[in-house]
Structure 1
Amino acid sequence: MQTIPSIALLGFLIPILGIGPIPAITALFLYALLPVIRNTYTGINGVDPGVKEAAVAMGMTGWQRLIRVDLVLAFPVIMAGIRTATVINVGVGTLAAYIAAGGLGEFIFGGIALNNTNMILAGAIPAALLAILLDFLLSLLQRAGNRSRRVTLGLLPLVLLGLSSFYVLPLGYSSRLLAGFTPEFMGRRDGDIGLRAVYGLNVRTVVISDAVMYKAIFNKKLDVISGYSTDGRLKAYDLITLDDDKKIFPPYYAAPLVRSATMEKYPELAPVLNMLAGKINDSIMTDLNFRVEYLNQSPEQVARDFLAAHGLYREPRDGKKGS
């Protein structure tokens, strides 16, 4: 499990466990197994054979020796594995924002989407401090006496349950719809802010990556997403684009972007590109993307068919393949 990239593992879990904290916690659990199990095995295997022989001579059963001797002597090595897994999982946990599990990753990915360094640091610095704090607290547990250690381990599940209780608290939304929006969409006026202000939208929203939100709505884990009207997955997954009758979103046009140096070197490029003006709208872009992404047609062939259909294709003058 440790060899599977974290993003891929989160994506694999969506059809099985959906989105949110459950697949995120499952993925973190799987990533924590390697250092914990390896250190546990190493610690128990490293117990002095003489001590084990003495425990058997005292009449201890296999389980008694394991609990009272092996695990006690191997505890420092086991705790080293737990501390390693904890620090790793804090870092991996930020990726859970990709599948709407919340956390500090929302600030990081939102900052990346908006090119906002301060927003990135607002998620990265607390995550680093949290990893250091948890490692320090576990080191205190490692050095504590047996009695204090037992009390702490007994209270730990209750503390974890209390800290995670916000996932099950009432959210105060009357709508049963669940919307998954990208970090960029959540912070824009032509996005979630505009939907709430102009349309009075009052649905529960979660922040999710655009890389997985289509898969999530296709698997019926979401009801609404901030998709792209030109994405081929709209057609592949039979999704419906809602009409913006109150016009909070600016119009979207296809426009070629060319470097100034390139245009100066090839001035004849401008009139050629202008021949495409007014011929590519949202639905056409959706269909072209669908043919490339899901029908596995080559971009060159799709572009050639489109140009031919609009009477714009010309055979290359040098006689070579292409246009």
Structure 2
Amino acid sequence: MSDPRWSEALAHLPDYLGNHVRVSVAALALGLLISLPLALIARNRPVLRGTLLGLASIVQTVPGLALLALFYPLLLALTALTAAWLGFSFSAFGFLPAVLALALYSMLPVLRNTITGLSGVDPAVLEAAQGVGMTPRQSLTMVELPLAMPVMMAGIRTAAVWVIGTATLSTPIGQTSLGNYIFAGLQTQNWVFVLFGCFAATVLALVVDQLLALIENGLRNRSRIRTALGGLGIAALIAATLVPAIARPQARYVVGAKTFTEQYVLSALMAQRLQAAGLPTTTRAGLGSNVIFDALAAGDIDVYVDYSGTLWANQFHHTDIRPRAELLGELKTTLARQDITLFGELGFENAYALVMPKKRADQLGIHSIADLASHAATMSIAGDYEFFSRPEWAGIQKAYGLTFRAQRQMQPDFMYAAVASGEVDVIAGYTSDGLIAKYDLVALADDRHAIPPYDAIVLLSPKRRDDETLKAALRPLLGKIGIAAMREANLRASGNDASSSPDAVARWLWEKIGPK
């Protein structure tokens, strides 16, 4: 493994795997705790049985990522209520929403197989149990459950595999998992990370499934040795993955990052600066705009980089466009009311821009968004996962009357290759992205100022408002990252070699902007 990316992937494995196992075990345990009693209650009640299985089936139709994401705002609202009424709050970030969503996801196979297994017990056996004087409880525990256990274990095996696989999707709500490899790899085109994450999750699911199969086989054949070996194997796996995570000292500082390359680089840069100052630090990357802001406000993360236009339009729902200095001043005041500190600007702007191939733009005489309007009806446009639901897009459409033939959503880094190859005609790109120059694209002028300023700004959580050590570590970054440096950093991070990892690019960026 001469490629350092493999070593980097292995270095993250204890943390990612330990957290993945922890959330999967907790979710499966909670799912069993809920499903098994419900199945026992419903087995002889057809209406209740049908209702439970129907509800569990409906849960399965909800995409895993959506189910995970839905629990975050629900828990945020709940913790606000408990804080107001009962005087205590809890973290709605990461572990808890992931466990609750995954537990729901695990219920259908457990419910269905438990009910099926109990219903499949031979009536003659039940009559014999009654004939020897067994009570209904004795019949259940000594006859029905042992006979149904192999079928029940098959359901538990299915649930375990589903939970382990779906847990990789918990990264966007702040839960560290093997999905961190996949999300980070997709955003930075680090295919080593993507493959490593997929392989690790697959191996984990297969190992757990085979250990549970050993328990199932032992129960079916009444082999205590096989049952015990399977149970010991599960316990050993949990211990092997959790002990290193428990033994490792907890990081005091958490740096957040959104879902695109620039954010991975900047979060790595800030984490490196904090670590250089002796502050134990970890990162939580791949978070959506609203999730990361709410996590900062709640103190679940300590610092991250946002953009003035995103906060102005998306978070605080302003529709007017202010001059840069006025907008930043208003933001600082608004954030202060929530005890969030706008610590400073990094020195560059990363605004949305409508981007298309320069050659085609010249052929059609398109130099601005206004020029594009007369051609849009015959064109397709692509944007990131957030863009078309953001107020900025509504503002652009209103200002220029844009109506495209088709809209597509895709990974940010993939958009540039798609527009360069003609898969789409226009993309909603980022002005600080080096891929614009790499693919010979052009950002169209926004003559009507429909897009607000997007200065990159550092935000601190309420609990870090007076943390002078953190501020001293990050202050050398303020005003030092120009647009040219950020574009080059983003271009480097979009490569597919060892020097393109966010950590490596962050080190390069610090060498470029840091004290000489």
TM range (shorter): 0.7 to 0.9
2:296 matched residue in structure 1: 217
1:266 is the counterpart of 2:364: yes
1:233 is the counterpart of 2:233: no
Quote the offset at 1:72 in angstroms.
Answer: 1.0
Amino acid at match of 2:68: L
2:257 matched residue in structure 1: 181
Partner residue of 2:398 out of 284, 301, 305: 301
Amino acid at match of 1:178: V
Deviations 1:173-215 (A, max 9, x none): 4x4x533224645752xx1332244464634432342253234
Q: In proportion to residue count, which structure has more strand?
A: 2
Cα RMSD, aligned residues only: 3.7
1:75 matched residue in structure 2: 149
Greater Cα shift, 227-236 or 62-71 = 227-236
Quote the offset at 1:165 in angstroms.
Answer: 5.5
1:147 matched residue in structure 2: 224
Amino acid at match of 1:224: V
Aligned ranges for residues 193-204 of structure 1 at < 5 Å? 193-198=268-273, 200=276, 202=279, 203-204=281-282
Distance 2:95 2:245 in 1: 8
Aligned to 1:10, the other structure's residue is in SS state helix
1:24 is the counterpart of 2:105: no
Report the count of equivalent residues: 286
Question: Quick one: structure 1 residues 227 and 148, their matched pair in 2 at CA, closer, same or farther if it must change by over 3 Å?
Answer: farther
1:42 is the counterpart of 2:119: no
Deviations 1:210-263 (A, max 9, x none): 253234335554332343443133434846544246x6xx55466553324432
Amino acid at match of 1:205: T
Deviations 1:141-196 (A, max 9, x none): 111235346656876896576444566556354x4x533224645752xx133224
1:192 is the counterpart of 2:271: no
1:56 is the counterpart of 2:134: no
Distance 2:152 2:201 in 1: 24
Question: Quick one: structure 1 residues 185 and 18, their matched pair in 2 at CA, closer, same or farther if it must change by over 3 Å?
Answer: farther
Distance 2:392 2:268 in 1: 36
Greater Cα shift, 223-232 or 132-141 = 223-232
Quote the offset at 1:74 in angstroms.
Answer: 0.9
Higher relative contact order (CA 8 A, sep 6+): 2
Distance 1:23 1:159 in 2: 26
Report the structure number with the largest CA radius of gyration. 1
1:89 is the counterpart of 2:168: no
Greater Cα shift, 138-147 or 112-121 = 138-147
Distance 1:165 1:70 in 2: 37
Greater Cα shift, 144-153 or 79-88 = 144-153
Quote the offset at 1:307 in angstroms.
Answer: 5.4
Percent identity between the two aligned chains: 29
Question: Quick one: structure 1 residues 208 and 147, their matched pair in 2 at CA, closer, same or farther if it must change by over 3 Å?
Answer: same
Greater Cα shift, 1-10 or 194-203 = 194-203
Greater Cα shift, 213-222 or 17-26 = 213-222
Amino acid at match of 1:207: A
Partner residue of 1:205 out of 267, 275, 283: 283
Aligned to 1:258, the other structure's residue is in SS state strand
Question: Quick one: structure 1 residues 4 and 166, their matched pair in 2 at CA, closer, same or farther if it must change by over 3 Å?
Answer: farther
TM-score normalized by the length of structure 1 = 0.73
Distance 2:155 2:369 in 1: 63
Question: Quick one: structure 1 residues 226 and 10, their matched pair in 2 at CA, closer, same or farther if it must change by over 3 Å?
Answer: farther
Partner residue of 1:100 out of 174, 192, 195: 174
Gaps of 5+ in 2: 1-58, 76-90, 318-333, 372-385, 402-445, 451-516
Preserved CA contact (<8 Å) 2:181 2:196? yes
Preserved CA contact (<8 Å) 2:399 2:448? no
1:318 matched residue in structure 2: none
Question: Quick one: structure 1 residues 36 and 196, their matched pair in 2 at CA, closer, same or farther if it must change by over 3 Å?
Answer: closer
Quote the offset at 1:109 in angstroms.
Answer: 0.5
Amino acid at match of 2:72: I
Distance 2:242 2:63 in 1: 26
Preserved CA contact (<8 Å) 2:150 2:216? yes
Greater Cα shift, 47-56 or 200-209 = 200-209
Deviations 1:126-148 (A, max 9, x none): 11122121111111111123534
Distance 1:124 1:251 in 2: 35
Gaps of 5+ in 1: 275-288, 311-323
Deviations 1:39-74 (A, max 9, x none): 000000010000011011111111111111111111
Question: Quick one: structure 1 residues 96 and 309, their matched pair in 2 at CA, closer, same or farther if it must change by over 3 Å?
Answer: closer
TM-score normalized by the length of structure 2 = 0.48
